[in-house]
Protein backbone atom coordinates (compact mmCIF):
# COMPACT_ATOMS: atom_id res chain seq x y z
CA UNK A 1 0.00 0.00 0.00
CA UNK A 2 2.98 2.32 0.43
CA UNK A 3 3.38 2.29 -3.37
CA UNK A 4 -0.26 3.19 -3.78
CA UNK A 5 -0.01 6.07 -1.31
CA UNK A 6 3.01 7.49 -3.12
CA UNK A 7 1.23 7.29 -6.44
CA UNK A 8 -1.93 8.81 -5.00
CA UNK A 9 0.08 11.67 -3.53
CA UNK A 10 1.66 12.21 -6.92
CA UNK A 11 -1.75 12.27 -8.52
CA UNK A 12 -3.05 14.71 -5.92
CA UNK A 13 -0.18 17.08 -6.56
CA UNK A 14 -0.93 17.01 -10.26
CA UNK A 15 -4.64 17.54 -9.63
CA UNK A 16 -3.89 20.52 -7.39
CA UNK A 17 -2.42 22.48 -10.29
CA UNK A 18 -5.25 21.68 -12.67
CA UNK A 19 -6.73 25.17 -12.62
CA UNK A 20 -3.50 27.09 -12.86
CA UNK A 21 -1.34 25.17 -15.30
CA UNK A 22 -2.09 24.85 -19.01
CA UNK A 23 -1.07 21.85 -21.07
CA UNK A 24 2.47 22.17 -22.34
CA UNK A 25 4.19 20.22 -25.12
CA UNK A 26 6.40 17.51 -23.71
CA UNK A 27 9.52 15.98 -25.20
CA UNK A 28 8.97 12.31 -26.03
CA UNK A 29 11.01 9.93 -23.93
CA UNK A 30 10.71 6.43 -22.63
CA UNK A 31 8.80 6.09 -19.39
CA UNK A 32 10.58 4.41 -16.52
CA UNK A 33 8.99 1.38 -14.87
CA UNK A 34 8.13 3.52 -11.84
CA UNK A 35 6.35 6.03 -14.08
CA UNK A 36 4.49 3.27 -15.88
CA UNK A 37 3.35 1.84 -12.55
CA UNK A 38 2.22 5.29 -11.40
CA UNK A 39 0.31 5.83 -14.64
CA UNK A 40 -1.37 2.44 -14.30
CA UNK A 41 -2.42 3.20 -10.73
CA UNK A 42 -3.77 6.61 -11.76
CA UNK A 43 -5.80 4.96 -14.51
CA UNK A 44 -7.18 2.47 -12.00
CA UNK A 45 -8.13 5.31 -9.67
CA UNK A 46 -9.76 7.27 -12.50
CA UNK A 47 -11.91 4.36 -13.66
CA UNK A 48 -12.78 3.31 -10.12
CA UNK A 49 -13.75 6.90 -9.34
CA UNK A 50 -16.14 6.94 -12.30
CA UNK A 51 -17.79 3.66 -11.27
CA UNK A 52 -17.99 4.49 -7.56
CA UNK A 53 -19.54 7.90 -8.39
CA UNK A 54 -22.31 6.12 -10.28
CA UNK A 55 -22.90 3.03 -8.15
CA UNK A 56 -21.37 3.62 -4.72
CA UNK A 57 -19.06 1.38 -2.75
CA UNK A 58 -21.24 -1.72 -2.79
CA UNK A 59 -22.38 -1.45 -6.40
CA UNK A 60 -18.90 -1.95 -7.86
CA UNK A 61 -16.53 -4.93 -7.91
CA UNK A 62 -12.81 -5.08 -8.57
CA UNK A 63 -13.65 -7.00 -11.74
CA UNK A 64 -15.82 -4.07 -12.89
CA UNK A 65 -12.90 -1.70 -12.43
CA UNK A 66 -10.44 -4.06 -14.11
CA UNK A 67 -12.76 -4.36 -17.11
CA UNK A 68 -12.86 -0.58 -17.57
CA UNK A 69 -9.08 -0.34 -17.20
CA UNK A 70 -8.53 -3.27 -19.56
CA UNK A 71 -6.48 -5.41 -17.18
CA UNK A 72 -6.99 -8.64 -15.26
CA UNK A 73 -8.52 -8.11 -11.82
CA UNK A 74 -5.53 -9.77 -10.15
CA UNK A 75 -3.49 -6.68 -11.09
CA UNK A 76 -5.80 -4.55 -8.95
CA UNK A 77 -5.26 -6.98 -6.09
CA UNK A 78 -1.51 -6.48 -6.50
CA UNK A 79 -1.85 -2.74 -5.81
CA UNK A 80 -4.92 -2.70 -3.55
CA UNK A 81 -5.65 -5.11 -0.72
CA UNK A 82 -9.39 -5.11 -1.38
CA UNK A 83 -12.19 -2.98 -2.79
CA UNK A 84 -12.43 -0.80 0.32
CA UNK A 85 -8.74 0.12 0.12
CA UNK A 86 -9.26 1.06 -3.53
CA UNK A 87 -12.27 3.17 -2.60
CA UNK A 88 -10.35 4.92 0.19
CA UNK A 89 -7.48 5.68 -2.20
CA UNK A 90 -9.90 7.10 -4.76
CA UNK A 91 -11.55 9.34 -2.19
CA UNK A 92 -8.33 10.51 -0.56
CA UNK A 93 -6.61 11.41 -3.84
CA UNK A 94 -8.66 14.54 -4.51
CA UNK A 95 -9.83 15.18 -0.94
CA UNK A 96 -6.37 16.42 -0.01
CA UNK A 97 -6.39 18.80 -2.99
CA UNK A 98 -9.73 20.44 -2.29
CA UNK A 99 -9.07 20.65 1.46
CA UNK A 100 -5.67 22.27 1.06
CA UNK A 101 -6.92 24.75 -1.55
CA UNK A 102 -9.86 25.82 0.60
CA UNK A 103 -7.73 26.06 3.73
CA UNK A 104 -5.31 28.33 1.89
CA UNK A 105 -8.16 30.44 0.50
CA UNK A 106 -9.65 30.89 3.98
CA UNK A 107 -6.25 31.85 5.42
CA UNK A 108 -5.68 34.33 2.59
CA UNK A 109 -9.14 35.82 3.02
CA UNK A 110 -8.70 36.30 6.76
CA UNK A 111 -5.43 38.15 6.18
CA UNK A 112 -7.01 40.32 3.48
CA UNK A 113 -10.01 41.08 5.73
CA UNK A 114 -7.65 42.52 8.35
CA UNK A 115 -9.74 41.52 11.33
CA UNK A 116 -13.09 42.35 9.72
CA UNK A 117 -14.26 39.23 7.88
CA UNK A 118 -17.78 39.06 6.46
CA UNK A 119 -20.04 36.06 6.12
CA UNK A 120 -20.19 36.37 2.36
CA UNK A 121 -16.42 36.80 2.07
CA UNK A 122 -15.76 33.66 4.10
CA UNK A 123 -18.30 31.68 2.09
CA UNK A 124 -16.82 32.85 -1.19
CA UNK A 125 -13.39 31.64 -0.07
CA UNK A 126 -14.80 28.27 0.98
CA UNK A 127 -17.26 27.64 -1.86
CA UNK A 128 -15.75 29.36 -4.88
CA UNK A 129 -12.36 27.73 -4.43
CA UNK A 130 -14.02 24.32 -4.48
CA UNK A 131 -16.38 25.11 -7.35
CA UNK A 132 -13.44 26.27 -9.47
CA UNK A 133 -12.10 22.72 -9.38
CA UNK A 134 -15.36 21.39 -10.81
CA UNK A 135 -15.52 24.18 -13.39
CA UNK A 136 -11.96 23.85 -14.69
CA UNK A 137 -10.82 20.41 -13.57
CA UNK A 138 -12.52 18.28 -16.21
CA UNK A 139 -14.80 15.28 -15.96
CA UNK A 140 -12.64 13.57 -13.34
CA UNK A 141 -13.32 16.31 -10.83
CA UNK A 142 -17.03 16.25 -11.62
CA UNK A 143 -17.05 12.51 -10.99
CA UNK A 144 -15.31 13.14 -7.69
CA UNK A 145 -17.92 15.74 -6.78
CA UNK A 146 -20.69 13.22 -7.38
CA UNK A 147 -18.79 10.66 -5.33
CA UNK A 148 -18.40 13.16 -2.49
CA UNK A 149 -22.13 13.84 -2.51
CA UNK A 150 -22.79 10.10 -2.32
CA UNK A 151 -20.34 9.61 0.53
CA UNK A 152 -21.73 12.59 2.47
CA UNK A 153 -25.22 11.12 2.33
CA UNK A 154 -24.29 7.58 3.36
CA UNK A 155 -23.90 7.54 7.15
CA UNK A 156 -23.19 3.81 7.34
CA UNK A 157 -19.79 4.06 5.65
CA UNK A 158 -19.39 7.64 4.47
CA UNK A 159 -19.46 9.72 7.66
CA UNK A 160 -16.02 8.62 8.85
CA UNK A 161 -14.48 9.51 5.49
CA UNK A 162 -16.01 12.98 5.53
CA UNK A 163 -14.91 13.51 9.13
CA UNK A 164 -11.31 12.47 8.57
CA UNK A 165 -10.78 14.41 5.36
CA UNK A 166 -12.88 17.55 5.74
CA UNK A 167 -13.39 18.41 9.43
CA UNK A 168 -10.30 20.67 9.67
CA UNK A 169 -11.30 22.92 6.75
CA UNK A 170 -14.95 23.02 7.84
CA UNK A 171 -13.97 24.07 11.36
CA UNK A 172 -11.69 26.71 9.85
CA UNK A 173 -14.72 28.14 8.04
CA UNK A 174 -16.79 27.97 11.23
CA UNK A 175 -14.09 29.92 13.06
CA UNK A 176 -14.22 32.68 10.43
CA UNK A 177 -18.02 32.77 10.53
CA UNK A 178 -17.92 33.21 14.30
CA UNK A 179 -15.62 36.19 13.86
CA UNK A 180 -17.92 37.64 11.21
CA UNK A 181 -20.99 37.09 13.43
CA UNK A 182 -19.70 37.54 16.99
CA UNK A 183 -23.21 37.93 18.45
CA UNK A 184 -24.68 34.91 16.68
CA UNK A 185 -25.51 31.82 18.74
CA UNK A 186 -23.03 29.04 18.06
CA UNK A 187 -25.82 26.60 17.22
CA UNK A 188 -27.07 28.92 14.47
CA UNK A 189 -23.59 29.06 12.95
CA UNK A 190 -23.51 25.29 12.79
CA UNK A 191 -27.05 25.07 11.42
CA UNK A 192 -26.08 27.59 8.79
CA UNK A 193 -23.12 25.44 7.75
CA UNK A 194 -25.40 22.41 7.67
CA UNK A 195 -27.62 24.15 5.11
CA UNK A 196 -24.59 25.30 3.09
CA UNK A 197 -23.10 21.84 2.81
CA UNK A 198 -26.50 20.37 1.95
CA UNK A 199 -26.85 22.73 -0.99
CA UNK A 200 -23.26 22.04 -2.06
CA UNK A 201 -23.77 18.27 -2.01
CA UNK A 202 -26.96 18.50 -4.10
CA UNK A 203 -25.02 20.68 -6.54
CA UNK A 204 -22.15 18.22 -6.81
CA UNK A 205 -24.53 15.29 -7.31
CA UNK A 206 -25.66 16.79 -10.66
CA UNK A 207 -28.98 14.96 -10.54
CA UNK A 208 -30.50 16.96 -13.39
CA UNK A 209 -33.63 17.62 -11.34
CA UNK A 210 -33.36 21.41 -11.61
CA UNK A 211 -33.10 21.03 -15.39
CA UNK A 212 -36.51 19.37 -15.50
CA UNK A 213 -38.16 21.59 -12.92
CA UNK A 214 -37.02 24.77 -14.67
CA UNK A 215 -37.76 23.53 -18.17
CA UNK A 216 -34.09 23.92 -19.07
CA UNK A 217 -33.70 27.47 -17.75
CA UNK A 218 -31.26 26.15 -15.13
CA UNK A 219 -28.87 23.24 -15.56
CA UNK A 220 -27.25 21.18 -12.83
CA UNK A 221 -24.01 21.15 -14.86
CA UNK A 222 -23.78 24.95 -14.80
CA UNK A 223 -21.25 25.41 -12.01
CA UNK A 224 -20.49 28.94 -13.19
CA UNK A 225 -24.09 29.99 -12.52
CA UNK A 226 -24.00 28.24 -9.15
CA UNK A 227 -20.76 29.96 -8.18
CA UNK A 228 -22.23 33.35 -9.07
CA UNK A 229 -25.14 32.84 -6.65
CA UNK A 230 -24.44 30.34 -3.89
CA UNK A 231 -22.24 32.33 -1.48
CA UNK A 232 -24.51 35.41 -1.62
CA UNK A 233 -27.64 33.32 -1.12
CA UNK A 234 -26.18 31.44 1.84
CA UNK A 235 -24.78 34.61 3.43
CA UNK A 236 -28.28 36.12 3.48
CA UNK A 237 -29.52 33.00 5.27
CA UNK A 238 -26.85 33.29 7.95
CA UNK A 239 -27.70 36.95 8.53
CA UNK A 240 -31.39 36.12 8.81
CA UNK A 241 -31.12 33.30 11.35
CA UNK A 242 -28.57 35.27 13.37
CA UNK A 243 -30.85 38.27 13.89
CA UNK A 244 -31.79 38.94 17.52
CA UNK A 245 -35.14 37.39 18.41
- The CATH class that applies to domain 94-241 reads mainly alpha
Rg (CA), the chain: 20
Integer angstrom CA distances of residue 60 from 44, 56, 68, 81, 218: 13, 7, 12, 15, 32
Q: What proportion of the chain, given as a percentage, has pLDDT over 70? A: 87
pTM of the complete model: 0.83
Closest CA to 148 of 159, 132, 135, 136: 159
Closest CA to 210 of 229, 234, 226: 226
Residue 199 pLDDT class (50, 70, 90 cuts)? very high
3-state helix, strand, coil split of the chain in percent (to 5) is 75, 0, 25
Of 31-45, 123-137, 221-235, the least confident: 31-45
3-state SS, residue 131: helix
* Residue pLDDT, tens place only, 133-179: 999 999 999 999 999 999 999 988 888 999 999 999 999 999 999 99
- pLDDT at position 24 over 80: no
Whether residue 87 contacts residue 57, with contact meaning beta carbons closer than 8 Å, is answered with yes
* Residue pLDDT, tens place only, 61-119: 999 999 999 999 899 999 999 999 999 999 999 999 999 999 999 999 999 999 999 99
What are the extents of the domains in the chain? 94-241
Amino acid sequence: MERVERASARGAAEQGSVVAVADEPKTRRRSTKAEQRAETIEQMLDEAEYLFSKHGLHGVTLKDVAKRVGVHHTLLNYYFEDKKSLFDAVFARRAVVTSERRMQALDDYEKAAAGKPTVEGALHAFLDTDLDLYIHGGEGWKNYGALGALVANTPEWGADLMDSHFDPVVLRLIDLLKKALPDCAERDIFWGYHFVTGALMVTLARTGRIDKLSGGVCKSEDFEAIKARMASFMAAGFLQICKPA
